[in-house]
Structure 1
Amino acid sequence: MDKTEILLIILVTIVICCVVVAGLILFNQLNNNTTVTNTSQATEINSDTVSSSSTSDEIDYESYYYSNSFEDTDTDGDGYVTLSDMNLAHTPFDIRDQMYTDSDDDNDGRLNHDEYYKFMYKLNYDRASYGL
């Protein structure tokens, strides 16, 4: 082999190493962060979204990104949201109803502020638990 071939092999090896390192860095970033994309905006969600309270390991549901806030959905301003207030056309009725029931902690048939965000979390981030 002449010097040109050796230099070419070294250069190709360096490029491959750089690509592998860049891929590992990207993989690490994707494991540490999840990006949720809406048609008009993207919001980064850090892995720090779990409540740090020592009394509860409950997820801080409100800290995640959702296309609508509780205030947007509670159009009559009564402090509650029902299924009829939400547009959930892309979710099968039985699964949507189960998510709603699982989120309605006080079983009053409507969702208060905290229950709404629990429901939205299930709808947007916990769909696999419901077979979707």
Structure 2
Amino acid sequence: MNLCIVLFLSATYSERFFICFLYISTDILQKTNDEQYCRIQKTKHALQVAEEELLRVQLEATTKSKELSQAHGAWFPPWLATHANYYKELATTHRKEHGQPVLDVLLQKVSEKSIQAQQFMEPHFESSKACCLIGNP
């Protein structure tokens, strides 16, 4: 006879109850463990599929980027880029030498005119405030 069966038959009623309880608990835990193992396997598979998809999309993006850079290079030859850069620097230098001083003078004059206009209009503002507060026209 099996040792487990011998022990079960020789046990008391409370010991048998406890053995049955442990057997049922072990069975429930085994089922839970199996379910979790299945979930983990499904999650691992989903992660692997997602990683493969990510790699595929990254490769596709890299390929598109290379194609666009080649097309951009075909549309914008190096000699034209050199000329464009030269004229950009020339325009920037010209603006710093000639445009910025003119802009500074213009802003100074506008500021002065604004102050003069405020000084000219201040008495009129005061009289209109007085009329509105008193209520007389």
Q: Which has the higher strand share?
A: 1
Q: Give me the TM-score of the superposition, normalised by structure 1.
A: 0.29
Q: Give me the TM-score of the superposition, normalised by structure 2.
A: 0.29
Q: Bigger radius of gyration, 1 or 2?
A: 2
Q: Which has the higher helix share?
A: 2
Question: Which gives a bigger RCO, structure 1 or 2 (Cα 8 Å, sep 6+)?
Answer: 1
